[in-house]
A and B are shown apart, each in its own frame.
Chain A
Amino acid sequence: MSQLSSADTTTETPAEDEAPVEVDERRQAVLDELTRRLGADAVVGSHIEPGYDLWVRVTREAWPEAAVAAKAMGYTFFDFLSAIDWLPSPFGRDMDAQEDLLGDPAPAKEPQPIVQGHAGGETRFQLLARLYSISAGMGVLFKADLPDDDLSVGTWSETFLGANWHERETHEMFGITFVGHPNLIKLYLPTDFQGYPLRKDFPLLARRVRPWPGIVDVEPMPGGDDSEGDGE
């Protein structure tokens, strides 16, 4: 899809097959250890990007245990916890200006299918969290599927105290309930705010009110040419 080539100067693109093998093995070892601790039926998906990162998808029931297991393995640094809503936005690409459609087919009209990313997935909502091990110098990204009709999962805030605020933010943005959280109230939004903003079906009002005029929008110089109207 991308039509680019790397520069002529001596740079080295981090090609996947040139990564040193032992890093790949280290992540594989971490994955194996996690599978051993949590049980093979708890770890339902994984993905390793050699030299960079490890994704592990666990079941919803195993989510709190995953934190405990990872912490025992040395992943003591709590990075972040959030969620991904895999529903393609029902409002379209929001960038439907002439410039963008050059060479592209017209956007599909029927609802797009939900396609998850690394480590797979089956549901619309997925939890995403990252832990890091300072001694190993590696991080692990955890994902978990959440069924649409029961958006609740156990809390990480007993294992990692920092998860307290992250779970509050995920709760108010996506509507996910964290069972066992000491104080699951809104963090950013006012108390009487209704709706879950980061869900894809929550509209971004600015774009509904005024559609985007295009990637390249040029404002005419003041006093330059007399032509009126917004530049485009």
Chain B
Amino acid sequence: MTLLLASFDPPYWLSTLIKVLVISAVVPTTALILGMVFLFKVMSWMQSRLGPQEAGPRGTLQLLADGVKFLQKEDIAPNGADLFIFKIAPLVVLMSTLLLYVALPASAHLVISDLDVGVFYVMAVSSLSVLGVLMAGWASANKYSLMGGLRAAGQLIAYELPMVLAVLGVVIQAGTLSLNGIVFAQADGSIFGWDAIGNPYILTQFVGFAIFLAAVQAELTQPPFDMPVAESEIVSGYQVEYTGFRFLIFFLAEFATAFVFAGVASILFLGGWAVPWLDTSSDWYYVLGPIVLFAKVMLVSFLIFWIRFTYPRFREDQLQSFAWKFLIPLALVNIVVTAVLKVVL
């Protein structure tokens, strides 16, 4: 198989086209799947109700129907809004999501761009969405949006740091910033000589995993960190003036980002697309890799959404103090301990 693909050497424009098509197919699909499974079915199951049942068999095509509904809505912008910024704000958020998918590997070779600084790139690019949120909040000419945007600015910037610091522990242990390199390190590693399951970093970096999940929850503005979109207070916060297609972009961006962050979490902590008993250079991974990654992403997403449906939301100042006074010191301690143990052991 590797030989076959090696002989397939497309010109640059063709390979770029393929990559663009893949991303534009994958992103909405993952958002759809995540939204369907978790937002509708799992949430309904947890809240002891059935969820949508009409569209498609047992309601599985509901999101598709919703997508069509959004697309055919009227394009309304509020009267006093700054139109240009209002219109491009959702696109900025979506752009940061799309850029994240570029670095996510589904297998050793199934990756859009195998960057050597994958982790660094992911962390940097995910911060771009803050700009989009702020633009949306300000340009909507609505006090609720403004409040949501301001809260979002504070929150998203505050929770960038714990995310980065949590990931640093993994980087120290793996010794590389490349996402595929981290997968190899986990798959080929061993726990004190016992290499039956490789060395998934969740065992040693459980603190980092917890911090990363909390930071991801905050970056996605999901409860308990959903002050910017506090539905019962400021009625969708910065998204309140967006309807139809623009709201669909926000929605898509949110769930696609959830997928990719869960993907990053499963790569960094759970071993990514590799399974312990199959060697990473095996050709099976062309098919198995995406499936394994998908399964792990579902697991992590389940955690993210489970917490989303259960907890009430933090107040803004409690949220900030949680980040600055608790998560960041904890992450720093984690880094120090990891570094020490890396040298010692």
Direct contact of A and B (CB under 8 A): no
Chain B contact residues, CB within 8 Å of chain A:
none
